[in-house]
Structure 1
Amino acid sequence: MSRIKACFDALKAEGRGALIPYLEAFDPDRDTSQKLLNAMPEAGADIIEVGVPFSDPSADGPTIQLAAQRGLKAGATLAGVLDMVAQFRRTNDHTPIVLMGYLNPIDHYGVERFCQEAARSGVDGLIVVDLPPEEAGIIRPHTKANALDLITLTAPTTPDERLKAILADASGFVYYVSITGITGTNTATEDQLTQAMTRLRRATDIPVVAGFGIRTPEQARTASRITDGAVVASAIIKAMAATFDDGQATDASVPTALGHISRLSKAVRNA
């Protein structure tokens, strides 16, 4: 059984949704992001989403764009991100890790080689933001061969017929982009999430998590109660970045991010 499925099965038995916090690899440096990654499960992360820094993160808002720039400046590479996951796996073999990024670095690295090395490093799933379902054939055979879940993205504007088509091969979980826009901007209302989930439940029986625009513990609680999990990204990065001194991490950086994750976790567990 995959780590992602085992996680959602356990959470279903507990009667709650998942908290899925995000970190940008190498932001603002390798050591700081490694410390944060290693400590996230104890702070309450059920699944961890690791962003791969990219020079043109078109789906992301200004907070993650700046984090990606800091990560690239600190020397982030795809191989370096995989090595971070491998280091995490030395002490944690149960918390699922999903890489979120863009196709260009994967294509440049070599799709087959990347999937093989991602699985070997301990990655469980991939979110390739700019890969349309119609073009997923470039990577899907290699994710299947290496037992990696290729996470499907859906949006409020996805038509019903297309929804059925793109969810036919979905695995791991469905990532519901709950707003029409970039990360860290607007937030979907409770009614909007409820209506979306009614539609999604008719199209798939795998877990559905909500992301984009979820910032506060209250919003995470609502999202995780209606869906199977809440992804929180920009709010964590923004809180940590506020502790930086001239773009560099301080002693307060990791504890601040972990404190925010802990508050989110308590809200999700009380949903």
Structure 2
Amino acid sequence: MSRLETRFAALKAEGRAALVTYTTAGDPDYATALAILKGLPAAGADVIELGMPFTDPMADGPAIQAAALRALQGGQNLAKTLEMVRDFRRGEGETPLVLMGYYNPIHRYGVERFLAEAAEAGVDGLIVVDLPPEHDAELALPAQAAGIDFIRLTTPTTDDARLPRVLNTSSGFVYYVSVAGVTGAGSATTEHVEAAVARLRRFTDLPLAVGFGIRTPEQARVIARIADGVVVGSAFVDQIAKAESSGAAIDGVLGLCKQLSDSVRTAR
């Protein structure tokens, strides 16, 4: 079993949802970002999403856009992001790590080279938000052949006719984008999420994680009662943006992670 399969199976046996955290590689700088990444498992992160900085992150709101720009201005690139994964894996062999971002940097790096290095570094999954299933042969299928899960996004506008096509080559888990908008922009109602999760369960047996707009422990607790995973990103990025020092950024992110984890673990 993959790390993602193992983690979600263990959490299902525990009767609770996963806390899935997102931060941007290299934000605000490599050393601080790595310290945050290494601290997340102990702070309660069950699955980690690490953003690959890109100049034009079209699915992201102002907070994550700014994080990507900070990282790029600091010299972060895809090679350094893979090195960050290697650094993380030297001390952590159990927590699943998923790279999230856009296809352009991977395409420029070279798909074959990227997948080989990602698998060697210890990447467990990919979320590539701008690569639809019609282009599975470019990345999704080669990734899965390399032992890396390819995680699909579904949205409120993904209808029943489209869902089977989107989910056909999904693996790891399914990420439900709960609002029709960019990251950090508003949040969905409980009723909406309940209906969406129930609908998705008719189409897939994969774990369902819900994200976009979840910022507080109380919001996380509500979603953790419904879904298999709760994804939080912009709230962590905001902690980094407002921090006046590296130490404050680390403490802010890991402190919030602990609060969110406590809520998720006691939700049911």
The amino acid across from 1:250 in the alignment is S
The amino acid across from 1:30 in the alignment is Y
Deviation, 1:141, is 2.9
What is the rounded CA distance, in whole Å, between the counterparts of 2:159 and 2:247 in structure 1? 47
TM-score by length of 2: 0.98
Partner of 1:81: 81
3-state secondary structure, aligned to 2:161: helix
Partner of 2:261: 265
Q: Is the 8 A contact 1:63 1:184 kept in 2?
A: yes
Partner of 2:250: 254
Partner of 2:18: 18
Give percent identity, aligned residues only: 54
Deviation, 1:132, is 1.1
Partner of 1:242: 242
What are the within-5 Å matches in structure 2 for residues 33-72 of structure 1? 33-72=33-72
3-state secondary structure, aligned to 1:137: helix
Moved over 2 A (4+): none
3-state secondary structure, aligned to 1:226: coil
The amino acid across from 2:71 in the alignment is G
Q: Which ranges of structure 1 fall in alignment gaps of 5 or more residues?
A: none
Partner of 1:195: 195
What is the rounded CA distance, in whole Å, between the counterparts of 1:258 and 1:141 in structure 2? 35
What is the rounded CA distance, in whole Å, between the counterparts of 1:168 and 1:138 in structure 2? 16
What is the rounded CA distance, in whole Å, between the counterparts of 1:221 and 1:136 in structure 2? 35
Partner of 2:138: 138
Deviations 1:73-107 (A, max 9, x none): 11111010000000110010000000001000000
What are the within-5 Å matches in structure 2 for residues 97-246 of structure 1? 97-244=97-244
What is the rounded CA distance, in whole Å, between the counterparts of 1:175 and 1:85 in structure 2? 21
What is the rounded CA distance, in whole Å, between the counterparts of 1:170 and 1:241 in structure 2? 33
Q: Is the 8 A contact 1:153 1:177 kept in 2?
A: yes
TM-score by length of 1: 0.97
3-state secondary structure, aligned to 1:48: strand
Q: Is the 8 A contact 2:153 2:175 kept in 1?
A: yes
Q: Is the 8 A contact 2:140 2:169 kept in 1?
A: no
The amino acid across from 2:217 in the alignment is P
What is the rounded CA distance, in whole Å, between the counterparts of 2:193 and 2:247 in structure 1? 38
Deviations 1:4-26 (A, max 9, x none): 00000000000000001111110
